[in-house]
Structure 1
Amino acid sequence: MSNLLVFSPYATRPHFTAYEGTIAKACQVRGATVEYLLCDGLLPECDMHWDSFPLHHPRPLDICERCTAGAKARIAEFELPYKWLGEFITKSEREEAFVWAQGLAVSEICKATYLTYPIAEWVQSSIYSYFRQFPADMSNWRVVNAYRGFLLSGALVSVGLRRYLETHPVDCALLFNGRQSITRVAFELLREANIRVLTHEMPFYQSGHIMVKPNARCWSNQPFADFWRDWGNIPLTRVAMQETLKWLVDRRYGRNLSWFTYNPSVNFNVTLRSHLKLTEGKKLLALFTSSTEETAGDTELESAYAWQSTWVQDVLDWVRKRDDVELVIRVHPHLSGGTGLTRAFDEFSFYEKMKVSAPSNTRVIMPDEPLNSYALMSEADVGLTFGSTVGIEMAMLGKPVVLAARNFYEVGTHIIKVRSRETLGEDLERSLGSFSARELRREAFRMAYYYAFAFELPFPLVSVFRVMDVKRNYSGTKALERGQDETLDHICNYLLETGPLFDSPTAADKTRSLAEEDAFLEWMEKTPDCLRDRNYERLLPIFKTLRGMGRMTKRAIRKMPFGSGNALLQAGQGFYRSFAK
């Protein structure tokens, strides 16, 4: 019998617990001993609050009480046993960790270690997200205080989790993302103890799926590289090609996304070149920046450039000297502060200054400017990215892509990877040369399909509404039994039986020819409108009007007295979920 530990300090969040609770319960149904380890409010800083959350609210005084109560309620829904982290930390150990964190000189904070563990490195990602700033401004007392708080939290988790592992048998562990502060600490301690770890996250690319990575953190590219070694040479069927094309078309229209929609509607009647006053006949390079605070400073994701801003400036300087190319820099819309976090002020300011000083052959499109990135992809000849998903999408259009950072599509042999800062000019020059658009597109379709449809596993047992509102699509435990859901079987097989998380190609897969891919790619080459959904375009004005009416109605309902409006909205949401199911 296997012993599964679910380290879940943020279990109060339903969109985390719906996934991991379902997996944990399925493991229990299969005979595993399952136990949650929850936070009981002893951490001074955690990822339940960042300053970058909307409205800049200060950390609520009762956040720990509410979080603890919420976590307890979530776990009770699954009828799973749990323990509190505080049970494994003595009073003297808390005091010792506090003295350590408060006694560090400011110059020591970013490299601080505790019990030989590099706690500062492990919590730094949350510091960058907390303030949407990289590197951390250690001259700001608020940043210093928050960093001390995260150091203390990391130290306490290292003490408590280590003692739990010393006193409880653990064969495998389930953990949310492994990136954010104390989840990173937990990931590293579990890995040090040679415990099989599965990290989970909401899907990056396909609604209705789940991202799970074996013995890796959520941003690690290694698990997909391993997957690609098995599957990368297996041609797609026509059905798979069609599914992947639909995925791309949906993304262009902002449909079926697993995250917020960043783009305004495409106006297909206006060419971007005329709108931006670009010159016909010159090669157009489109540079798409990324929102990098989640990956900044991660040694596993190191690339030719440590700083995105340095790379962007180098590209601009290269373009400045050319009279045969033009450059459009599309600054990531997420930096504007309209999609879940506040504005990333430092990065925003950097691009504002660049926009003013840019040469005549360069346009800088700010995050809050209403330019559709997919329209830019369609007009551009070359795509430049710092790890943006745009890279795989432009490759699917058959356009050269220069990748200056890390992302899953780095495994592609037709993707131009920036080797070093010194070779950037050569890499950019290469993107302007001759290439096989069909082979680039073929490989891109495979990468997109295998990642979005196979590597991110289907998870129909949980539905997601409005990004983070979730509902479980089952009751009781029958749906969790072996043989009822293929994804659960794979996950439980990995956790409990040390089996593979993903299928390997069958003999039939390995003998599949290129015929269906070739036929589909030839059809795409002859069908320039294959990326458009004209029926949907005709309905867009109606959808826009209905959304506006919906927002007005919501505002009116919320103004109803004594909280009755919010209660009515919640009841309506419950009815909608039942209907959608």
Structure 2
Amino acid sequence: MRIGLSSVYAWRPHVEHLVYLNELLVEDGHETCFLVCDAQSPSCYTRELRGSSRAKECPACVLGGLRSFVSGPFDSLREDGSDLFGDQFKAMSHSSVCTLVRTEAESDERRSDFSQAHRRLIPAVRRAYASARAWIQKRRLEGILLFNGRMDVTRGILEAAKDAGIPVVTVERTWFSDGLLLTPNDGPLALTPHHQLNERYREHPLTRGQALLVARRIASRFLQTNTTEWRSYNLNARRISWPANQEGLKVLILPSSRNEVEGHPDWQTEWSTSGEAIDAVLRHLRVDKSAVVLRCHPNWAERIGQRTGELSETYYLDWAERNNVHAIRSADNSSSLSLMDEADLVIVNGGSAVFEAGALGKPCVTVSPAAYSEAGNCAAVYSNGMLERCEAVLSLSKKEIVKRTLRAGYTHNYRHSQFTQYVRAKSPTRFVYYEGGSAKRIIDLLKSGRLQPDDATVAVDTADEDEVCEMIIARDWGRIASLAPDEEPALPLKRIRRRAALRWLDRVRDLMPSGDT
């Protein structure tokens, strides 16, 4: 096949991930080429995020991008798309602008900084779309591998491929680091592949090795040794007692930001806001709000580029004040884990706290679709007609919740994530690669448009899974870590390296903080 690969940003480790996939394709006899920006875009997410100039950002991006790994052939974003019109380019840049401004409510999209960022990004998306259409035609492409596909320029390339009738697979880092997130014909927010695999495997028990792999991931969060996740929160936290009324059902609300998923159809609910959804759940369960605690996400106190999450925090603090709910600010170092430990019910809106809460045997409700919402580990409640699921999850035993959490975690980490045996994280930005991966998985995904499980094996009974569940219920995190199997595959290393003259880039970047700052 003639396959194009594109990463217009030089972010680590995403360029390296595409280079790994390119090597698999070339080894299998496929013809590849590349689309890069080459400082042609009039604006982009990175420059908007940092408020920096073309002169500062573009040379570093060109230097650290695909050209520093492979020899081409290359094409760049040279078509300005000035003959193209329509609201679709505004829609394509919408997700980036929401993330840049860190919106929470629909009213935030009426801010002047929102509209200004939108106006600056629309020409960039139009140029990316036009250039991608020209690239597809020039190189007679039969498939595309694309970094991200959600943000501005990358979204323009994704939509160009779809409009040209070319199958495309977007590539991202996984939520919990190992393997690659490969999504057919959509960006990384797509939930359909998650739902399909969760529905297929949620009733199947895990082997001992599978259960231990997930248990170690969860234990690392309790032990604060989860050093490969993109961001770690609530470090050096202080344990606290339940700060609200301890009579009745103690409900902990752990909201996360909605700006990154805003506008994607897979994440839509009947609720107009998360606050409305939480109100509906509390009202349905007749919860005394004096026993409710809202813990603002620690991320909202962190600066990403030029912005903190003040819009999200303000929204939820206002909600808490209106409802006389005890609120803990994002910058507070109170332990979220200690709050989960004391809660009778945890409410989230798609965040990953369900894995820690589930490991503690706590029933959870998500008021938003999520990667795990069809896994059976929590109550998925995103309409009034789904509220009866709250009672169902409250009736589950602690062991059943733990078991379902393990299965959800394994499907997410080792079935949905691809190439997990061959792509391993050593830090948020450093990865090692192993021989043994096959291009067939990429080609099959391009041709079928349907994700297959990276690991399809299941256990014949629940005996081994039950043993691991008991260790989790005992909260023996140290023992779990010591018993977890060595994850390093017995395979030779595959060298994925920059050109020799540019390897100093990674040594410099290792001194910089991880995350999208």
Bin the TM-score by the shorter chain.
0.7 to 0.9
Structure 2 CA distance for partners of 1:524 and 1:157, relative to 1, 3 Å: closer
Report what 1:334 is aligned to.
299
Report what 1:133 is aligned to.
103
Distance of 1:175 and 1:455 partners within structure 2? 18
Quick check: 2:294–2:328 contact (8 Å CA) kept in 1? Answer: yes
- Residue 95 of structure 2 aligns to a residue in which SS? helix
Distance of 1:162 and 1:490 partners within structure 2? 26
Distance of 1:499 and 1:323 partners within structure 2? 47
Match of 1:348 among 277, 291, 313: 313
Quick check: 1:266–1:374 contact (8 Å CA) kept in 2? Answer: no
Match of 2:430 among 466, 470, 473: 470
Distance of 2:215 and 2:27 partners within structure 1? 38
Report what 1:211 is aligned to.
181
1:424-463 paired onto structure 2 within 5 Å: 424=387, 426=388, 428=390, 433-458=394-419
Structure 2 CA distance for partners of 1:524 and 1:124, relative to 1, 3 Å: closer
Distance of 1:499 and 1:147 partners within structure 2? 31
* 2:460 corresponds to 1:515: no
* 2:52 corresponds to 1:78: no
Quick check: 1:21–1:75 contact (8 Å CA) kept in 2? Answer: no
Structure 2 CA distance for partners of 1:240 and 1:297, relative to 1, 3 Å: same
Report what 1:227 is aligned to.
197
Report what 1:555 is aligned to.
none
User: After superposition, what is the alpha-carbon deviation per residue over 1:28-66, rounded to whole angstroms, capped at 9, x for unaligned?
Assistant: 122111111111333222122234x4xxxx331414641
Distance of 1:391 and 1:500 partners within structure 2? 27
**Structure 2 unaligned regions, length at least 5:** 483-503, 512-517
Alpha-carbon offset, residue 74 of structure 1: 3.6
Judge which range, 391-400 or 365-374, deviates more: 391-400
Aligned partner of 1:347: which letter? S
Structure 2 CA distance for partners of 1:325 and 1:427, relative to 1, 3 Å: farther
Report what 1:251 is aligned to.
221
User: After superposition, what is the alpha-carbon deviation per residue over 1:517-574, rounded to whole angstroms, capped at 9, x for unaligned?
Assistant: 234434555xx332467999xxxxxxxxxxxxxxxxxxxxxxxxxxxxxx9x958969
- Residue 475 of structure 2 aligns to a residue in which SS? helix
Report what 1:541 is aligned to.
none
Quick check: 2:184–2:446 contact (8 Å CA) kept in 1? Answer: no
Quick check: 2:35–2:77 contact (8 Å CA) kept in 1? Answer: yes
Match of 1:202 among 158, 165, 173: 173
Quick check: 1:282–1:324 contact (8 Å CA) kept in 2? Answer: no
Structure 2 CA distance for partners of 1:350 and 1:222, relative to 1, 3 Å: same
> TM-score scaled to structure 1, two decimals?
0.74
Report what 1:161 is aligned to.
132
Report what 2:11 is aligned to.
13
Quick check: 1:282–1:325 contact (8 Å CA) kept in 2? Answer: no
> TM-score scaled to structure 2, two decimals?
0.83
Report what 2:340 is aligned to.
377
User: After superposition, what is the alpha-carbon deviation per residue over 1:135-159, rounded to whole angstroms, capped at 9, x for unaligned?
Assistant: 4756544432321222212222222
Distance of 2:47 and 2:5 partners within structure 1? 22
Structure 2 CA distance for partners of 1:184 and 1:380, relative to 1, 3 Å: same
- Residue 457 of structure 1 aligns to a residue in which SS? coil
Structure 2 CA distance for partners of 1:491 and 1:404, relative to 1, 3 Å: same
- Residue 291 of structure 2 aligns to a residue in which SS? strand
Quick check: 2:275–2:319 contact (8 Å CA) kept in 1? Answer: no
Quick check: 1:199–1:217 contact (8 Å CA) kept in 2? Answer: yes
Structure 2 CA distance for partners of 1:355 and 1:228, relative to 1, 3 Å: closer
- Residue 184 of structure 1 aligns to a residue in which SS? helix
Report what 2:436 is aligned to.
485
Report what 1:105 is aligned to.
none
Distance of 2:20 and 2:314 partners within structure 1? 43
- Residue 182 of structure 1 aligns to a residue in which SS? helix
Asked which structure has the greater CA Rg, the reply is: 1
Distance of 2:272 and 2:98 partners within structure 1? 14
Quick check: 1:381–1:400 contact (8 Å CA) kept in 2? Answer: yes
Aligned partner of 2:402: which letter? R
**Quick one: higher RCO (CA 8 Å, sep 6+), 1 or 2?**
2
Structure 2 CA distance for partners of 1:511 and 1:393, relative to 1, 3 Å: closer
Report what 2:514 is aligned to.
none
- Residue 529 of structure 1 aligns to a residue in which SS? coil
Report what 2:488 is aligned to.
none
Distance of 2:223 and 2:471 partners within structure 1? 22
Quick check: 1:462–1:470 contact (8 Å CA) kept in 2? Answer: no
Aligned partner of 2:214: which letter? T
1:172-211 paired onto structure 2 within 5 Å: 172-205=143-176, 207-211=177-181
Structure 2 CA distance for partners of 1:324 and 1:180, relative to 1, 3 Å: closer
User: After superposition, what is the alpha-carbon deviation per residue over 1:178-200, rounded to whole angstroms, capped at 9, x for unaligned?
Assistant: 11112122222222333222111
1:270-289 paired onto structure 2 within 5 Å: 272-273=241-242, 276=243, 278-279=245-246, 281-289=247-255
Alignment RMSD (CA, Å): 3.4
Structure 2 CA distance for partners of 1:341 and 1:514, relative to 1, 3 Å: farther
- Residue 250 of structure 2 aligns to a residue in which SS? strand
Report what 1:171 is aligned to.
142
Q: Share of identical aligned residues, percent?
A: 19
Report what 2:444 is aligned to.
494
Alignment coverage as a number of residue pairs: 487
- Residue 67 of structure 2 aligns to a residue in which SS? helix
Distance of 2:231 and 2:509 partners within structure 1? 22
Distance of 2:119 and 2:421 partners within structure 1? 41
Aligned partner of 2:314: which letter? S
- Residue 219 of structure 1 aligns to a residue in which SS? coil
Aligned partner of 2:466: which letter? D
Structure 2 CA distance for partners of 1:495 and 1:50, relative to 1, 3 Å: same
Structure 2 CA distance for partners of 1:438 and 1:308, relative to 1, 3 Å: same
Quick check: 2:375–2:404 contact (8 Å CA) kept in 1? Answer: yes
Report what 2:22 is aligned to.
24
* 2:57 corresponds to 1:59: no
**Structure 1 unaligned regions, length at least 5:** 101-111, 537-566, 575-581
Alpha-carbon offset, residue 463 of structure 1: 6.0
Distance of 1:69 and 1:430 partners within structure 2? 53
